[in-house]
Amino acid sequence: MTRKNCTLGEFIIENQDSFQYSSGELSKLINAIRLAAKVVNHEVNKAGLVDILGAAGETNIQGEDQQKLDVLANEKFIQTLTNREIVCGIASEEEDDFISINSNDQQHQNKYIVLIDPLDGSSNIDVNVSVGTIFSIYRRITPVGTPVTLEDFLQPGKNQVAAGYVVYGTSTMLVYTTGDGVNGFTLNPAIGTFYLSHPNMRFPEDGRIYSVNEGNYVHFHQGVKDYIKYCQEEEGDRPYTSRYIGSLVSDFHRNMIKGGIYMYPKSSVTEEGKLRLLYECNPMAFLAEQANGLAIGGKNRILDIQPKELHQRVPFFCGSKNMVLKLQEFLEKYH
């Protein structure tokens, strides 16, 4: 067992043998994400002091207004990962297409691709509510030495070799998994170092928090409506507490620590769902399953879904195991 309060760098070195591809490349990749996260954290903490709040005046591929910090975070992560020459491709929620990276000395020799949501919850930036970064890492499936293709990015979530998020809140935390449990590291801003603060993070099997945008209740399908009513009934340990921040990273992080379920269902307005499978749902589902939780898109396990496009949207439910199983009972009544 790695000692609490060790640094992220020490943790990576001490636990490298638990990762099946222990060549050191993944360690370098996690370190690159750590560096970019510290840069973005520095910029987020300056919000309100310099001109980085508000809309950037452009829309992303999903048709959403980009915030200035969206653009900045996207640039910093792509720049850091590219300059370190440790990935062969990057896909970002803010980019129309994937980026193929050809290292000058390696000619596409790198084995990993990264998919990233550079700044999750950016609609909360202007009101000083926690935001985050979500990342997902895969080994490429096309031959090493050739440029990456779309096929490398359209892998089911069960193929992930690592995933995690950074939450920029009252403290800044980096939480990640390489398929051997989930660990959280808190940034000491005085010296710029992440320390292991939350070893072996796990969802309680039962929870008392449900997180959903109830303003969309009228548009939800009946199974979800029935489950929300179940959460509100006075019986046993219910009613549950409703808590919804509107930042996936923040809602997920709270529910993992306290016990709860997060729901972003499809609706009569968003028939395909709203959250992106590759940038949000797959990495969070991988984390959830590694932390004793569950993640489904309705009837199916999120990690089994075969992606069809880079910016595919799906319904998403994840959290404490027994809460997700109870939701599934309600959903199956209408299938």
Q: Per residue of the chain (335 residues), give pLDDT as tens.
A: 567 789 998 998 888 776 656 567 788 888 899 999 998 888 877 765 444 444 544 555 555 556 678 888 999 999 999 988 889 999 999 999 999 987 655 556 789 999 999 999 877 777 778 899 999 999 999 998 899 999 999 999 999 999 999 999 889 999 999 999 999 999 998 999 999 999 999 999 999 999 999 999 999 999 999 999 999 999 999 999 999 999 999 999 999 999 999 999 999 999 899 999 999 999 999 999 999 999 999 889 999 999 999 999 999 999 999 999 999 999 998 86
119 labeled binding residue: yes
Cβ atoms within 10 Å of 26's Cβ, excluding its own = 22
Contact assessment for residue 238 and residue 260, using Cβ atoms and an 8 Å cutoff: no
292 labeled binding residue: no
Q: Cis omega before residue 239 (within 30°)? A: yes
- Give the pLDDT confidence score for residue 291 in this predicted structure: 98
Integer angstrom CA distances of residue 12 from 6, 26, 29, 312 = 10, 9, 11, 32
- Give the pLDDT confidence score for residue 60 in this predicted structure: 54
226 labeled binding residue: no
244 labeled binding residue: yes
Nearest partner of 256 among 301, 334, 323, 191, judged by Cα: 323
Domains, the chain, ordered by start: 8-198 (3.30.540.10), 209-332 (3.40.190.80)
92 labeled binding residue: no
Q: Report the distance separating Cα 167 and Cα 53, nearest Å.
A: 18
54 labeled binding residue: no
57 labeled binding residue: no
117 labeled binding residue: yes
Q: For the whole prediction, is pTM greater than 0.95?
A: no
Residues paired with 239 in a beta bridge: none
121 labeled binding residue: yes
Q: Which two tokens stand for residue 116?
A: 């990233």
